[in-house]
Amino acid sequence: MKILTLGALIVVASSATAMAQDVAAGKTSFNKCLACHAIGEGAKNKVGPELNGLDGRHSGKVDGYNYSDANKNSGITWNKETFLEYIKDPKAKIPGTKMVFAGIKNENEANNLWAFLSQFDKDGKTK
């Protein structure tokens, strides 16, 4: 019984470490986004909107940001699945978007970026 408990603790600890590594890698990947986007407490709109509270947010809904009609009318509610599809090729997912980013094709990198972005609530605090 002690072996089973120890094994379960190792699995839980390994999972937590893997998640921390994903978020850290996602933070590094976010450097590609920094020229246009901000995230975290005090984040402001730049060339692109601030990204706080992205998970569950409707596309085209950040106050003070001038979205394209394509983005405002896309009907997208951001979640992991939608983000991963979008970030591969933003112009293919939302034709007419103002976003000029070529995309992140590497699935692992895109997942890490989502892990980083989705940890921030609408006020820029980590969940």
How many structural domains are present in the chain? 1
Does residue 122 lie in a domain region? no
- For residue 99, what are the contacts with CB-CB under 8 A and spacing of at least 6? 36, 48, 90, 91
Does residue 127 lie in a domain region? no
Does residue 10 lie in a domain region? yes
Q: HSE, CB side, 13 Å, CA atoms: give it for residue 107.
A: 1
Q: What is the CATH number of the domain that holds 66?
A: 1.10.760.10
Q: Whole domain around residue 92: which residue ranges?
A: 2-117
Does residue 126 lie in a domain region? no
User: Which residue has tokens 């692109």?
Assistant: 48
Does residue 124 lie in a domain region? no
Which pLDDT tens digits describe the chain residue by residue (127 residues)?
A: 455 444 444 444 444 444 445 999 999 999 999 999 999 999 999 999 999 999 999 999 999 999 999 999 999 999 999 999 999 999 999 999 999 999 999 999 999 999 999 999 999 999 9
